[in-house]
Amino acid sequence: MNQPGARSCPAVLVTAPASGQGKTTVTAALARAWRNRGLRVQAFKTGPDFIDPTILECATGRPVYQLDLWMGGEDDCRRRLQAAAGAADLIVIEGVMGLFDGNPSSADLAVRFGVPILAVIDASAMAQTFGAIVHGLDQFRDGVRLAGVIANRTGSAGHGDFLAESMPTGIPLWGALRRDQAVELPSRHLGLVLASELEDLDSRLERAAGQLEPLLPAELASGDFPPPLEPEPAAATHLDGVRIAVARDAAFCFVYRANLDLLEALGAELAFFSPLVDTDLPADTDAVYLPGGYPELHAAALSANESLKASLRGFHARGRPIVAECGGMLWLLERLQPLDEPASPMVGLVAGEAEMQPRLTALGMQAFDLPGGTLRGHTFHHARLEKAPEASGHATNPRGRGAAEAVFRDGALTASFLHWYFPSNPEATARLFRG
């Protein structure tokens, strides 16, 4: 143990040279293969992501949380990893983008907690150059060393042999996975398709796990997971007696599990509802939380739900809190223009309209100063806002460039393209929902 109170647990961080290499498929397959061996596997996702965790939850049968050294902070990572080390037999972490991409990066997280690294490399169009990429990943930064490599999307057994021959000395090739449409996970404009939309996801995971099973090492090196630098704050009751209606359906499906956990830890009662089918807010609602998702794919149905739209307008008129993130804000606008459909009238609580774009319009970490302090999160969307009201303020990007999202506040309503990470500031979160 490197620090007093640290817990040791076998662990691996699955990374790649870039996005699109197959990290999620391999991470989920590894988790399912180890689970099939009878192990309790705890998965995490590095960085902001709502979709990959749904795949990993299906693979492990356990809740999946984010690990982000900036958005959540080091202590948030410490608490989650130490708790997992005490409750699981093995920890598997899916990285974000490429190994060294971002600040902080997946490499930063692995080095900080001493987690061994497994690289997934799409080898579909290469042979001996594969070894050069492995060498570069292994040697680029002090403190980063690969525990192994998986070659993904290979074409034949002979192809796999070329790759094995190119490997640097001392780095094992766990195996070469063939191209297989039966295990590949489909994508759309914001990433992979959600687990709930894949009826055959379980069979895909079992097939992939079966391919990986013979490749798994007998044992993994352990990471040391220290306790938080600061003691966990005493249980707060800032939201005692507050009933929060949370939108959750195919249109509003982007929410951090940690956000919901925190609201409950603060004393709130959560009541889930579907803007696609429910005609009114849940009974005795004190506040409303509208997470992001895909309202553009369901614009006609959301527009047609006149009863619920009127209920929300009345709720706001009574001065009750509404917190809307990205897709939630799009629903509150006057109009939403999908890519291939006519524009649809929305709720009309936020002036302006949005037009969906074929390409990404904003990406990056964000922070915004609220009455209860600074709340952190991220932005990632394909919408462009038109005829918007004057913003109450703009978020800041820790890199000092890129997106600086507007935040709109009207009474107790707070709306933005921002996806908030509530654990970054519980007090600021509580004040949002207290109004």
Structural domain spans, the chain:
7-225, 243-434
Residues of the chain with pLDDT under 50: 1
CB atoms within 10 A of CB 67: 25
pLDDT for position 360: 86
Q: Exposed e or buried b for every residue in 217-246, given b needs 16+ CB within 10 A?
A: eeebebbbbbbeeeeeeeeeebbeebbbbb
Catalytic residue among 9, 58, 253, 326: 326
pLDDT for position 1: 46
Fold equal for 7-225 and 243-434: yes
CA distance 151 to 13: 16
Tell me yes or no: is domain 243-434 CATH 3.40.50.880: yes
Question: What is the CATH T-level fold of the domain 7-225, as seen in this structure?
Answer: Rossmann fold (3.40.50)
Token pair of 327 as six digits: 């897709």
CA distance 45 to 47: 6
Query: For this structure, is 326 an active site residue?
Result: yes
pLDDT for position 174: 87
